[in-house]
């Protein structure tokens, strides 16, 4: 992923209305536990495996909730070692209190939990007998703030090109230090894209479309791949409540009326 500098967001002081669900990689996870094992986190899943050398105790990942909310996750696969149940079990942790999710092999089980602002929560394996480890894969992770605050808002105004109207979506909980992502889809492949950021709306005609942000900052965003481009960064600390940022991507596109296509505009807001 190309890095979206935090300084850009600092300059814009903006507020986008975000999707209600965040992915695993939109939290900063800390590895907990010791001993042999494996643990990985991606956008779509979390994998934890205890190994024969793993001592008893918790092995997994924890993070901090920026606000009160509901955590949802699917226990996609939990496998015991040699069919020995209750020896190394999947758990949810909330401020150190462990809730067991299963005792024997399970597939496709959905769980949800309430967490408070500042709670440390996470997922992992609790090993009672290191001779009988287990593995766990979680997916469909969600974090839904209780406040219902909209972090990202879609403003429309896309200008179609080779694959139709390109689409820009923002994702992340816009609290200081939290990861954020911008996802471009449906764009002309292998063409340069430009990110326009403003601290207010312009909504003026431009190149056959509408320039949504006031172009306070214009950045080369890199080349579109096979119709997609991902930008990632970290929301800056110490921004006051209610700051707003308008964003839009413009893409070189020979099939567009004046050689450029554009995404919808998005707005981002700090709560």
% of residues, the chain, pLDDT over 70: 89
Beta-sheet strand order (sheet of 167-171): 2-3, 229-234, 179-185, 167-171
Residue 25 reports pLDDT greater than 60: yes
Band of residue 14 on the pLDDT scale cut at 50, 70, 90:
very low
Average pLDDT over residues 147-163: 92
Residue 150 confidence (pLDDT): 87
How many other CB atoms are found less than 10 A from the CB of residue 185? 15
Residues contacting residue 183 through CB under 8 Å, at least 6 positions apart: 168, 169, 170, 171, 228, 229, 230
Domain range summary for the chain, segments of one domain joined by +:
2-20+149-269, 24-145
Q: For the CA atoms of 81, 83, 88, 92, what is the dihedral angle to 10 degrees?
A: 110
Band of residue 232 on the pLDDT scale cut at 50, 70, 90:
confident
Does 3.20.20.70 match the CATH number of domain 2-20+149-269? no
Q: Which residue, 61, 64, 73, is CA-closest to 119?
A: 64
Residue 263 reports pLDDT greater than 80: yes
58-71 confidence digits (pLDDT tens): 888 999 999 999 99
127-139 confidence digits (pLDDT tens): 888 888 889 999 9
Q: What is the mean pLDDT of the chain?
A: 87
Does 2.60.120 match the CATH number of domain 24-145? yes
Number of helices and strands (H, E) in the chain?
1, 22
**Burial (Cβ within 10 Å: 0-12, 13-18, ≥19) of residue 96:** exposed
């Amino acid at each position: 992923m190309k890095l979206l500098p935090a300084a850009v967001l600092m300059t814009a002081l903006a507020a986008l209305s975000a999707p209600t669900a965040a992915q695993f990689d939109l939290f900063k996870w800390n590895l907990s536990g010791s001993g042999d094992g494996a643990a990985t986190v991606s956008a779509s899943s979390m994998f934890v495996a205890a190994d024969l050398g793993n001592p008893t105790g918790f092995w997994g990942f924890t993070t901090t909730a920026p606000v009160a909310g509901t955590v949802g996750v699917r226990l996609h696969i939990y496998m015991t070692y040699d069919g020995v149940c209750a020896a190394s079990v999947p758990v949810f942790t909330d401020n150190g209190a462990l809730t067991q999710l299963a005792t024997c092999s399970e597939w496709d089980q959905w769980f949800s939990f309430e967490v408070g602002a500042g709670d440390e929560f996470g997922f992992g394996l609790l090993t009672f007998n290191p001779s009988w480890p287990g593995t766990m894969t979680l997916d469909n992770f969600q974090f839904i703030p209780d406040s219902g605050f909209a972090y990202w808002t879609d403003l429309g105004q896309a200008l179609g090109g080779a694959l139709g109207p390109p689409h820009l979506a923002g994702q992340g909980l816009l609290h200081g230090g939290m990861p954020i992502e911008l996802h471009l889809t449906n764009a002309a492949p292998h063409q340069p894209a430009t990110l326009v950021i403003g601290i207010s709306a312009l909504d003026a005609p431009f190149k056959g479309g509408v320039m949504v942000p006031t172009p306070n900052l214009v950045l080369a965003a890199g080349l579109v791949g096979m119709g997609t481009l991902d930008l990632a960064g970290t929301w800056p600390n110490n921004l006051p409540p209610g700051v707003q940022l308008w964003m839009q991507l413009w893409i070189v596109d020979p099939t567009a009326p004046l050689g450029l296509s554009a995404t919808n505009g998005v707005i981002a807001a700090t709560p």
